[in-house]
Chain A
């Protein structure tokens, strides 16, 4: 009887030491807390509003070829884009117009012969209020110029705040990256 309770007590005390070891091991092992605002780890599969993909040569330019496929396919009609018209005849006009609008343009213009110029994207506005997040625009884009952003901080007081000018957003992000 005494031996039994004694051995029980000793094994109990041993279990206390084992418990202390468990907490000590956990004390030393790395933390699993994510320091949320400073460290975000779970946005890989997140589908936010769409954004423009920067082109490979110039991060301030979009890959968009202004084909308007996205505008046509959007069930909520929330995308509106404007593009400069491809000019057919007057070659000197071409070189003039881009130089006033953009500095990086002339190179691509030189390559393109006067008969077939690419339309230049001038604005790409998304009215996120009407977006149903179907993703058809992303799927239909022939040049891969659209993707889902990981922008989770979408809250505002007015509807106007959710009308995004995606082209200027792209340029702003590119500037920020350079800095």
Chain B
């Protein structure tokens, strides 16, 4: 194993000895795929015929006028098959899994989007599939669990730790150290040991490559700012990577502000001052941890951003001041989502709505000459329960009560 995969001081591969040969194999397969033009061609072909690439950009005509500042564009990753950018990474790793001749895939999932995407890929490619999901997240994302199981995946509810994304990652690693011979771990974000941060960012770079061209085609210029929500950071890495060489484009990562700065209930690793550098889950980055290095509980209205660490590449870009980090609080996020649904008919996931909230706030202060671009990383179908609660919709509650009564009668009658 080479001592590689560092982005200034962040990254690395802090892995148990048993996985060293597995990571060597993965890195080799990944580097070979990168060198093979046909691989990327096959990948793009797959994404255009099975998912919905290239995804379009949409101008928010009504909200741009209403807010009265910058002209707002949205990159539509919600139009991917399974409803989120996660498909980009998963299909790419699926092709790699085939190349490595493995027959089983495992994955962690927070919001469930990555789990659904992995289960979909496994169904298509004929792999066995096990998905690890925090028990807390299983509860708040039942619709996704339902689809994973329909697709033949085994969903394991992880009851350890905080029962969220980080615990699901630990469990997936525990599976992998036992079953590495036939199993590939489809890590869902630009985190974890090398080569995952780089490899996942590579698959997601398709977003940024398309978006840059589309903005130039559409507006004749580059956007002034690009917004993306940041959990692990893969959708942000994806869209930002299209603009790394454009110094005039400001890149803004939006983290989960939860109940706000100083509340201790958030998942803002870079925007707030609560995180410090540490090593966990196989890589070095900023973690929300205590002085001893024990990981802290995080909070977000969106399961997908509720994570203690962040991509080592983004920690590097944060320190190098190439990406500005902000945090949006739960209430602002729900508000931004409702506003987008009501006035544009788009349904951004709660994760993606973080980027919308920050973009709306900043658009106001910008000139109508300026364009901004938001990455809509996913759609909110999966969030229907959480959102219905957040907006206190009485008709929804009635529907659920009726449905529950009907199920209860059914059970009672045998």
Verify that A and B bind, or say they do not: no
